[in-house]
Amino acid sequence: MNDDDPGRSAADDRRAELAANLASVEERITRACEAAGRARKEVTLVVVTKTYPAGDVRLLSELGVRHVAENRDQEAAPKAADCADLSLTWHFVGQLQTNKVRSVAGYAHYVHSVDRLRLVNSLSAAAVRQGRELGCLIQVGLDAGTSGAGPRGGAAPDRVAHLADAVAQAQGLRLEGLMTVAPLAGPYAGRPRDAFERLREISTGLQAAHPAATMVSAGMSADLEEAVAVGATHVRVGSAVLGDRPRLR
């Protein structure tokens, strides 16, 4: 950065920082694809912009980012409205309460965190009411027990088929695939690659019944290589592009 240049604004500096970060993430994805014998175009970068302002989303859009993600409706709704002119694809990746569904259904194109039947029903009702179609991913909680949700959200693996059938049959919803977050606890703690491989297995089973449900959303800043190695189609990258967040959420 050139601090001496009076014509250089804070936005210029931020743009340069985002461009450099994006380039390095792009290179990581490209290398991971090469190592796995996959084509680069098989993996979509979704940039997680939570805690960062709409101005950053705008800069990212100018830098060629097409997919952005948020995890809290309170923050996402105004940001999406602010950036409505950019024709971005918005992904909702956070735990979703039913009282936020109506709002999320207004701007999200994909919801990665579908993990219970009640959510399927309210997403469907909201999508139909607003004349929208939502792409849905079942979030798999690999830290969960054999039933019930894990602490970071997500359906237990043995619930996936049932939830997927419900999404596939629901009006206004499209079953797109599966999502997971590398577990911090349980048998997969500290073993993201094994967790993502398990997700991939569950995805293969799901695609036998639902061939179009091909999205595998896995991998974040710390573990995107592991995810790409075992077949992720979408990586959700926040801090490696935007910088470290002040607090973990």
Give residues in contact with ligand PLP (CB under 6 A). Answer: 48, 50, 71, 93-94, 181, 220-222, 236-240
For residue 24, how many other CB atoms are within 10 A of its CB?
A: 12
| Phi, psi angles (nearest 5°) of residue 175 | -80, 120
CB of 220 to ligand PLP, least distance (A): 4
Strands 173-179 and 67-70: unpaired
| Phi, psi angles (nearest 5°) of residue 60 | -60, -40
CB of 72 to ligand PLP, least distance (A): 9
> Between residues 113 and 122, which has the closer beta carbon with respect to ligand PLP?
113
> Between residues 89 and 239, which has the closer beta carbon with respect to ligand PLP?
239
CB of 223 to ligand PLP, least distance (A): 9
CA pair distance 207, 129, nearest whole angstrom: 29
CA pair distance 21, 40, nearest whole angstrom: 18
> Between residues 48 and 195, which has the closer beta carbon with respect to ligand PLP?
48
3-state secondary structure of 140: strand
> Between residues 172 and 199, which has the closer beta carbon with respect to ligand PLP?
199
> Between residues 137 and 156, which has the closer beta carbon with respect to ligand PLP?
137
Single out the residue of 189, 207, 208, 202 nearest to residue 140, CA to CA.
202
Residue whose beta carbon is closest to ligand PLP: 238
CB of 117 to ligand PLP, least distance (A): 21
CB of 64 to ligand PLP, least distance (A): 19
Measure Cα distances from 244 to 22, 56, 129, 221 in Å.
14, 14, 38, 10
